[in-house]
Structure 1
Amino acid sequence: MATRIVTLPGDGIGPEILAPAVDLLKRFVPDVTIEEHVFGGASIDAHGTALTDDTLAACRAADGVLLAAVGGPKWDTTDASKPRPEQGLLGLRKGMGLYANLRPVRPLPALYDASPLRREIIDGTDLLVVRELTGGIYFGEKTRTETTASDLCAYSAEEIERIARSAFEAARTKVTSVDKANVLETSRLWRQVVVDLHQREFSHIPLEHVLVDNAAMQLVSNPTSFDVIVTENLFGDILSDEAAMLTGSIGMLPSASLGAGGPGLFEPVHGSAPDIAGQGIANPLAMFLSTALLLRHGLNLESEATSLESAVDKALDQGLRTRDLGGTASTAEATEAVLAALG
């Protein structure tokens, strides 16, 4: 039975980086069937909504979903009655039951000089941010009047325990649980549930608790101290983007969003970069690395995933640099370099 992957090119540079990623995927999975759907701003233009019921149904029935990028100034609005591309992403995560977002951060020696941090600070960094995806302030009740607004941040013990379990299962040396328990009631519940799960099932794995403001400082002053960071939706969104800069460019960071047994969603962390869309100069490497995460977590093809990641590393070692990394390589040239490294 053929492997079925739904692709969502989205907006901006999305179609430009997704096309070569699909070509790479076909090298590793020759029998793959690709089903493309409009999503985000493109879907708003075509259907009036960022995520149609048909697209969601297709994603839920697939073996995995590759998403490129969504959003752009064309659809920016403060009018709550108008659709926004990002609503499609939230709806997709909720509709597919994707509660764990995994963002590996591993700066490559070839790119140490591209990072704003000194080489000796980032050398040896190899961490994973595990972000809760379906709860918290992004999904809480929202109110708005002319002069006031509110966003409810709510979590259940069940939501916290399942994301904490994902973190403990991924840990190699320790888990750092990030919260704001000195101020927020949701964080106090978070800490209690994480501690209880640790004591019941994962006491062999060291656990530490770090307040989110301290975690933000430690990420740029001592990133090698982290193994797995687990945190709630809003904090995870911010900290994982901060961690991306350890690699020298947010254009290098992939992510995987996973649930309880269904298909996963694999996407770069970066945005749609509308300022360079259509110029053929976007960095496709985070899209390629997201494809590797699809191979690993979505299709259980570990050796193939490692081969693709190694090819990206090798291409960079041999001098590949896109414009965001201080070089001149185009999207096509970056793709050719990775293909050459694959052999």
Structure 2
Amino acid sequence: MLVALLPGDGIGPEVIVEAVRVLDALEIDGLLFEEAPVGGAAYKQSGHPLPEATLDLAKRADAILFGAVGDPACDALERHLRPEQAILGLRKELGLFANLRPASLFPELADASALRPEIARDIDVMIVRELTGDVYFGEKGMRTTEEGLREGYDIMAYDEAEIARIARSGFETARARRGKLCSVDKANVLETSQLWRDVVVEISADYPDVDLSHLYVDNAAMQLVRDPGQFDTIVTGNLFGDILSDLASMCAGSIGMLPSASLDKDGKGLYEPIHGSAPDIAGRGKANPLATILSAAMMLRYSLDLVEPADRIEQAVGKALADGLRTADLGGDASTEEAANAVIAML
């Protein structure tokens, strides 16, 4: 089993190192690692954020463990050379269309949530986000209006096959959880969203055991803050999913706690924390590695079919938190390495 390690930029290398230490502690037979540069680090080495050698490794690997991309030194580059294009390129080239972002609160972190503890403790939601369409991949550019004004444009578009594919992922995910699926769109304003809603309703006929509901995205954001416990599984598009999953992370305590999986049609996946590269704390040992460690657990479960060690990691994280582990984002002073040490000790 080959795992591609793509550390990336900022705190990416720091959190990947600690996740690998946790995986090593499990002593899983046949688990191999191979590393390659990506993002700003790759651009500085080879002139492109996603070099051919890195893409080749990602294609050969059974799963990918990804750190983060983003480097302020690259902000002035042409868009296709910026670090963030690496993750978009990987999603497109590998067909990683379904992004699973769980948000649940470890009981010990109730006070770290942006919500009141009695509300926060109820959050246990899986956000299923479409990853290869929407404004991120639509036609975009800059132009000049007839009045001589600069105008930027980004086209939001989904065809019915793209919607049906992610809708089925949402229904399957909900069926394996508590049987409730909320589809989030903006059908009262956007034609793209109207098609989204129509197709989701059509697909729902194949899942009579799943309770389907619909919310406009602005209402969904409000409801996540007001009563997160009402949600089981949310399925939504790329842009809305990007925003809602970050909102859910703060309901669950910290963006440094939430893992994610990006899967293709066969279950091969790229696993990453939902946080960014955080260049302001890079190299200072302050990054929370738990989201990356939990992403490694998702990798074991979803792509490598190693459920028992995945459970062990998640239980060890919970025990370490119960034992008092707190990194800076959680109001404590544990370093990146100390946090991983605490998890390893609980294994």
Q: Same fold (TM over 0.5)?
A: yes
The equivalent of 1:312 in structure 2 is 317
The one-letter amino acid paired with 1:57 is: D
The equivalent of 1:285 in structure 2 is 290
Q: Contact 1:41–1:75 (CA<8 Å) still a contact in 2?
A: yes
For 1:14, which of 12, 15, 22 is the aligned residue? 12
| Distance in 1 separating the partners of 2:71 and 2:339 | 24
| Distance in 1 separating the partners of 2:96 and 2:39 | 18
The equivalent of 1:127 in structure 2 is 125
| Distance in 1 separating the partners of 2:74 and 2:258 | 25
The equivalent of 2:180 in structure 1 is 174
Say which SS state the counterpart of residue 130 (structure 1) adopts. strand
Q: Contact 1:96–1:262 (CA<8 Å) still a contact in 2?
A: no
| Distance in 1 separating the partners of 2:260 and 2:121 | 22
**C-alpha displacement of 1:105:** 0.3
For 2:161, which of 154, 158, 161 is the aligned residue? 158
| Distance in 2 separating the partners of 1:82 and 1:230 | 29
Question: 1:217-228, aligned counterparts within 5 Å?
Answer: 217-228=222-233
Q: Contact 1:60–1:263 (CA<8 Å) still a contact in 2?
A: no
User: Which blocks of at least 5 consecutive residues in structure 2 are unaligned?
Assistant: 145-149
Question: 1:168-189 CA distances to partner (integer Å, 9 max, x unpaired)?
Answer: 1111230000000001011010
The equivalent of 1:63 in structure 2 is 62
Q: Contact 1:116–1:246 (CA<8 Å) still a contact in 2?
A: yes
For 1:191, which of 189, 193, 197 is the aligned residue? 197
For 1:271, which of 276, 279, 293 is the aligned residue? 276
The equivalent of 2:326 in structure 1 is 321
Q: Contact 2:79–2:85 (CA<8 Å) still a contact in 1?
A: no
The equivalent of 1:237 in structure 2 is 242
Identity of aligned residues (%): 56
**C-alpha displacement of 1:46:** 0.9
**C-alpha displacement of 1:13:** 0.8
Of 144-153 and 60-69, deviating more is 144-153
**C-alpha displacement of 1:55:** 1.1
Say which SS state the counterpart of residue 158 (structure 2) adopts. coil
Q: Contact 2:267–2:303 (CA<8 Å) still a contact in 1?
A: no
The equivalent of 2:216 in structure 1 is 211
The one-letter amino acid paired with 2:244 is: L
The equivalent of 1:54 in structure 2 is 53
The equivalent of 1:4 in structure 2 is 2
Q: Contact 2:71–2:277 (CA<8 Å) still a contact in 1?
A: yes
**C-alpha displacement of 1:83:** 1.3
**C-alpha displacement of 1:143:** 2.1
| Distance in 1 separating the partners of 2:260 and 2:127 | 10
Say which SS state the counterpart of residue 148 (structure 1) adopts. strand
| Distance in 2 separating the partners of 1:332 and 1:296 | 24
Q: Contact 1:164–1:230 (CA<8 Å) still a contact in 2?
A: yes
| Distance in 2 separating the partners of 1:208 and 1:266 | 28
Question: What is the TM-score when the length of structure 2 is the normalising length?
Answer: 0.95
Say which SS state the counterpart of residue 97 (structure 2) adopts. strand
| Distance in 1 separating the partners of 2:24 and 2:96 | 25
| Distance in 1 separating the partners of 2:154 and 2:114 | 34
Q: Contact 1:283–1:322 (CA<8 Å) still a contact in 2?
A: yes
Question: 1:103-123 CA distances to partner (integer Å, 9 max, x unpaired)?
Answer: 000011100101111011112
When residues 81 and 109 of structure 1 are mapped into structure 2, their CA distance, relative to the original with a 3 A threshold, is: closer
Question: 1:74-101 CA distances to partner (integer Å, 9 max, x unpaired)?
Answer: 1113x64561111011000000100000
Say which SS state the counterpart of residue 81 (structure 2) adopts. coil
The equivalent of 1:110 in structure 2 is 108
The one-letter amino acid paired with 2:153 is: S
When residues 322 and 183 of structure 1 are mapped into structure 2, their CA distance, relative to the original with a 3 A threshold, is: same
Of 176-185 and 333-342, deviating more is 333-342
The equivalent of 1:24 in structure 2 is 22
The one-letter amino acid paired with 2:336 is: T
Aligned-residue Cα RMSD (Å) equals: 1.1
Q: How many residues align?
A: 338
The one-letter amino acid paired with 1:247 is: A
| Distance in 2 separating the partners of 1:156 and 1:125 | 32
Q: Contact 2:25–2:344 (CA<8 Å) still a contact in 1?
A: no
**C-alpha displacement of 1:26:** 2.5
When residues 220 and 10 of structure 1 are mapped into structure 2, their CA distance, relative to the original with a 3 A threshold, is: same
| Distance in 2 separating the partners of 1:298 and 1:176 | 25
The equivalent of 1:41 in structure 2 is 40
